[in-house]
């Protein structure tokens, strides 16, 4: 069965709500759910709206939220202004709605972006059993600074990167991959990360180089807890083939959801992989 993951809805106004405790009430017959908690990330710049992208929750119930900075935002008592176009923040909201910490992924403008386009793209998050946050994204600026870690763009149109944050908001590690656009990440019980997305040129994960056959192909790559690539597979035809989300069941089977453009027989074959087991 193909599992569909619903995107985080766009919120109108200045508030990003993170709500907890709804599911247990949904499971109780005829008892409507109530909101246990709400917190906000507020934009202070006139004419801008919050752009939340992703949320993940740890075992203790703390929420980790990622979103774009457009202008100046306020998170609790912390005020942060974006120094370049479309920077990304990651923030932790405590179980009771406390504003625990916020970090910003710092980029530098370049001529390719012409100061008008986003230098970071869609952020995806996952939290491991130790409370560390895995972050995947793609940057197009010459450099990306994560605390004391500085990443440099090596591909013409930018690099995918994978980073880890501690539960206290300290960057633990980060490294780049080729030019790929990750769209989703999930973890298994052993701490292995499963990442999916799309790419438009041959790309290498560890010792595996994935071929390229169309305008865009999709990939699934498995990253061990020690930041080594275990395997990578791909699919696609002669046109656009995109994977948007990935999820795992209790047996470790991976499920993808995405789309393909009609007319490419190899893309239709690749689509048949959706819902099948992937190597673990």
- In the sheet with 42-43, reading across from the earlier edge strand, the strands are 42-43, 72-75, 78-81
Is the confidence at residue 41, as pLDDT, over 50? yes
Q: What is the pLDDT of residue 191?
A: 93
Strands (E), 59-202: 63-69, 72-75, 78-81, 87-93, 99-107, 124-127, 133-139, 143-146, 149-152, 159-165, 171-176, 180-187, 193-199
Angle at 129 between CA 21 and CA 1, to 5 degrees: 70
222-232 pLDDT, tens digit each: 999 999 999 99
> Count of residues for the chain?
280
- How far is it, in rounded angstroms, from Cα 230 to Cα 152? 24
Which of 2-16, 49-63, 219-233 ranks highest by mean pLDDT? Answer: 219-233
Residue 35 burial by Cβ neighbours in a 10 Å radius (0-12, 13-18, 19+): exposed
- How far is it, in rounded angstroms, from Cα 196 to Cα 194? 7
Longest pairwise C-alpha distance within the chain:
58
Question: Is the separation of the CB atoms in 202 and 215 below 8 Å?
Answer: no
Q: What is the pLDDT of residue 250?
A: 87
The two structure tokens encoding residue 278: 């992937």
- How far is it, in rounded angstroms, from Cα 135 to Cα 90? 9
Q: What is the pLDDT of residue 8?
A: 31
Higher-scoring residue by pLDDT: 254, 239:
254
Match 């074959």 to its residue by tokens.
269
Higher-scoring residue by pLDDT: 156, 27:
156
104-129 pLDDT, tens digit each: 887 765 444 444 445 677 889 999 99
DSSP 216: B
Question: Is the separation of the CB atoms in 165 and 90 below 8 Å?
Answer: yes
Question: Is the separation of the CB atoms in 21 and 38 below 8 Å?
Answer: no
Nearest to 210 by CA among 224, 196, 199, 195: 199
Query: How far is residue 274 from each of residues 35, 185, 239, 264, measured CA to CA in Å?
Result: 35, 16, 18, 16
Q: Which DSSP string do the residues of 31-75 spell out, in sequence order?
A: -----------EE-STT---EEEEEEE-TT--EEEEEEE-SEEEE
Angle at 241 between CA 158 and CA 251, to 5 degrees: 100
Which of 82-96, 111-125, 236-250 ranks highest by mean pLDDT? Answer: 236-250
Higher-scoring residue by pLDDT: 29, 112:
29
C-alpha torsion sign, points 61, 258, 89, 248? positive
Is the confidence at residue 62, as pLDDT, over 80? yes
């Amino acid at each position: 069965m193909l599992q569909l993951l619903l995107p985080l809805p766009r919120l109108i106004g200045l508030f990003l709500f993170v709500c907890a405790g709804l599911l247990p009430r949904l499971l109780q017959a005829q008892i409507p759910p109530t909101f246990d908690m709400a917190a906000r990330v507020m934009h202070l710049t006139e004419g801008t709206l919050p752009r939340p992208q992703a949320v993940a929750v740890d075992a203790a119930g703390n929420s980790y939220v990622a979103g774009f900075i457009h202008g100046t935002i306020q998170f609790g008592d912390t005020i942060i202004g974006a120094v370049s176009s479309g920077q990304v923040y990651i923030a932790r909201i405590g179980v009771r709605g406390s504003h625990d910490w916020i970090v910003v992924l710092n980029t530098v403008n370049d001529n390719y972006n012409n100061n008008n386009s986003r230098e970071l793209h869609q952020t995806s998050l996952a939290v491991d059993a130790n409370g560390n946050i895995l972050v995947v994204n793609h940057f197009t600026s010459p450099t990306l600074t994560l605390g004391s870690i500085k990443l440099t763009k090596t591909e013409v149109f930018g690099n995918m990167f994978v980073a880890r944050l501690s539960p206290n908001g300290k960057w633990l590690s980060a490294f780049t991959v080729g030019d790929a656009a990750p769209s989703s990440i999930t973890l298994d019980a052993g701490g292995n990360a499963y990442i999916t997305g799309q790419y438009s040129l041959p790309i290498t994960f560890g010792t595996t180089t994935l071929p390229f056959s169309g305008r865009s192909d999709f990939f699934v790559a498995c990253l061990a807890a020690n930041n080594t690539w275990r395997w990578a597979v791909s699919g696609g035809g002669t046109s656009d083939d995109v994977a948007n989300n990935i999820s795992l069941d209790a047996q470790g089977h991976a499920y993808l959801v995405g789309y393909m453009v009609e007319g490419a027989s190899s893309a239709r074959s690749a689509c048949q992989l959706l819902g099948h087991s992937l190597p673990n």
